Amino acid sequence: MDFTRMLNWLSRVARLDNTAFDEIKLDPAGMVGGIVAVVITNLILGIGTYLYGTIEDLPETGDLLVRSLIIGTIVQSIVWMAWPGVTYLLLTSIYNSAADIRQLIATMGFGYVPAVIGALFFISFLDTPFVIVGLVAAFVLTQYAVAAASNAGSAHITMANLGGLAVFAVLMGIVVEITGDVAAGDYPFANGIWFLDWLSGFIL
C-alpha cells in the first residue's frame, strides 16, 4: 500500500474533491486503503475514548485501554464491513443497480474518515455534538463514495446507504450490550459514539 497515495486521497476527500473516489475505486490497492482508513479512524476514536475516560476519571482506565481502544478498534472495524456489505446488497438486489463490493469498501472506507471528529468527545461539555457530527459527516461523505462505486440514482443511494448504516449501528449496539457490563467494570468493545451511548445509559 502506497501511503503517499493514500494521504493524497485523504487530503482530497477532506477538501470534498469527489474525483478522488473515482481514482480510489479503480486503484488495485483501493480496497486495502479503504480498510486501513477505517482502522485508523476507529483507532483515533479509541484514543479519544481513552482520553475521555482519563479526563472524566473513569475507573480502571487500563481496562478501558485494552477493551475499548485496542479490542474496540479491531471489533468496530470488522463490524463496519456490514455497512458497505448491506449497502451493496440493497443496491444490487433491491434496486437492481450495478455495484462492486470491493469498490464500495474502498470508497466508503475513505468516506468514513470524517467520523474522527467524534474523537473530540473527550471535551466533555461538547461530547454528544462531536460524536453526532462525526457520524453525520461520515454518512454524507459516503453518499458520494457510493455514487462513485455504483450507477444508482440519488434516492436509491440514500436508502441503501441508510440501510447499511442502520445495520452497522444495530450490530454495534449488540456488541456493546454483550461486551459491556458496568457492574463488572467491563467496558464495551467499542469506542466513540457507541461507547458514549453505552456510558450515558448508566449515567442517566
pLDDT tens track for 108-119: 999 999 999 999
Comparing 53-62, 63-72, 94-103, 114-123, the range with the smallest average pLDDT is 53-62
Q: How far apart are CA 129 and CA 132, in angstroms?
A: 5
Residue 203 has pLDDT above 60, yes or no: no
- All 3 cell numbers of residue 111? 468516506
> Regarding predicted confidence, which is higher, 186 or 147?
147
- The confidence score (pLDDT) of residue 3 equals 79
- Average pLDDT across the chain, whole number: 92
Q: What is the pLDDT of residue 181?
A: 83
Burial 174-192 (b: 16+ CB within 10 A, else e): ebbeebbeeeeeebbbbbb
pLDDT band of 191, cuts 50, 70, 90? very high
Report the alpha-carbon distance of residue 100 to residue 92 in Å, rounded. Answer: 9
The CA distance from 168 to 151, in Å, is: 23
- Determine what percent of the chain is predicted with pLDDT higher than 90: 72
Say whether pLDDT at 81 is over 80. yes
pLDDT at 86 over 90: yes
Query: Is the model's pLDDT at 47 over the cut of 70?
Result: yes
Query: Which single residue is written with the C-alpha cell 456488541?
Result: 175
Is the torsion defined by CA of 19, 44, 167, 88 positive or negative? positive
Instruction: Read off the DSSP letter of residue 135.
Output: H
Amino acid at 49: T
In order of 23, 30, 33, 114, 152, the CA distances from 26 in angstroms are 5, 7, 12, 22, 18
**Which pTM value belongs to this model?**
0.92
For residue 58, give the nearest of 193, 197, 144, 186 by alpha carbon. 186
Q: Specify which residues 181 forms β-bridges with.
A: 186
